[in-house]
Amino acid sequence: MRFGVRSVSMDDVARETSISKKTLYQCFRDKDDLVRRTLSTHLDAMEQKIESVMASIEDPIEQLEAIAGFVLEHNKEINPSLLYDLRKYHPDSFQLFSQIRETVFRKQIRQNLERGVALGLYRSDLNIDIISRLYLGSVANLLNPEVFPDAEPSFEARYRELIRYHLHGVASAKGIERLQHFTI
């Protein structure tokens, strides 16, 4: 996450974890296997945390605030080349990421939007399918080196601005009032 997938070798992983390469290869078939399993673990943790937030917080704006805080903490040092590296050098892992993004995360976004509309905090005229796809595409673009070729602004700054942009775009007048107390 911190250095990008391509720039980290199996030697680097063995050295960082204080195990031999032989031991590393007993646990993982090859670098593709390591990347796929690491990504899967990371995505599972994110899915579980988001599900927990959505189950424990009724207010959709507060949900997004809590999820954003988790995403920022969990991905604090994310390398902007991560998705590019996955797409180019580990297509099976990128496919896994895309599949989970389109099924799990899109479902969670839809639930948040539906709840917001039902509570009158989001506009009633939203096309939830379009908005959920636009949101996911925007999140993916935060890590797109063609959109953000430099490390600045940071992932944190980009993500915070995206959340504000998203909420101001979907919020009703009642929701806009609530956003004055939004801390993200």
What are the tens digits of pLDDT across the range 2-48?
888 898 999 999 999 999 999 999 999 999 999 999 999 989 988 99
The residues that bridge with 122 in the sheet, in sequence order, are 171
pLDDT confidence of residue 152: 82
Distances 141 to 13, 27, 152, 159, 165 between C-alpha atoms, Å: 28, 33, 14, 10, 14
Q: What is the pTM of this model?
A: 0.85
Cα dihedral 106, 110, 116, 119 sign? negative
Q: Is 128 exposed, middle or buried (0-12, 13-18, 19+ CB in 10 A)?
A: middle
Residue type, 122: Y
CATH architecture of 31-179: Orthogonal Bundle (1.10)
Supply the pLDDT for residue 115. Answer: 97
User: Any idea where the domains of the chain sit in the sequence?
Assistant: 31-179
The predicted pLDDT at position 151 comes to: 74
pLDDT at site 146:
86
Q: Spell out, as residue ranges, where the chain has pLDDT lower than 70.
A: none
pLDDT at 150 (0 to 100): 79
